[in-house]
Structure 1
Amino acid sequence: MKILILNGPNLNLLGKRETSIYGNQDFNSYFVELKSKFPTLQLEYFQSNIEGEIISKLQEVGFSYDGIVLNAGAYTHTSIGIGDCIKAIETPVIEVHISNTFSRETFRHQSFISPNAKGVIIGFGLKSYDLALEYFN
């Protein structure tokens, strides 16, 4: 199975950014661990701070991959375009968040992705990605 892990804005700063919320590990080293944990999955990783690049990547793989694990970061709460794109593609999307967005600021309680996602995993740290990949495994 071919799976894309797609991270949005500021997730390139994992391990440096607000470590009390997001932890001390950078995503690139975690991705190596994921590939080792899920050897039967063909995993790819893409990160962008730019909304249009995220939409373009979703469109690029959204009719040919078996799954997408998406952490759209702050775009989760603001991007109707990403939500619409997920509705338009065929590949199932699992929305993930490292932190429990419902225990944070009120604006983080809204997701434009959730209504169109296959499922949502929130608040288990980086383990949220493992749980999403279990669905596809």
Structure 2
Amino acid sequence: MIPMPFQMVPAAFLAFYLTANIPLSLGLVWISNPITMPPLFFATYKFGAWLLGTEPVDSFEFTTEWLANGLSVVWQPLYFGSAVTGVILAITGYVTVQVVWRYRVIKKWKARAARRAKLSVQD
């Protein structure tokens, strides 16, 4: 969730060295694509400003002058909000995958046990 150029490179590097799923890591990087970036970064900026207790800037312009001057005001809430949002989403995703995985494994074990019980009754 942290705005940075070439997000796929660190995602692939970290996935490789942390023995994570590389294709999934690269795919998840594209949650923040050119279409979703403006609303995502605006939301994480507002969240970061709220967490830091600062007054959010309401006027954004995509001009060279604003990027040179205005970015110095918004970078801390933006990066802090992005980091906290990323941690929250990572924990939520991890717990969700663990719960779904465990549910599916238990469901398959019960189905297998039911099939075995049915076969042993027939014998």
Please report the TM-score for the alignment, with normalisation by the length of structure 2.
0.27
Larger Rg: 2
Which structure shows the higher strand fraction? 1
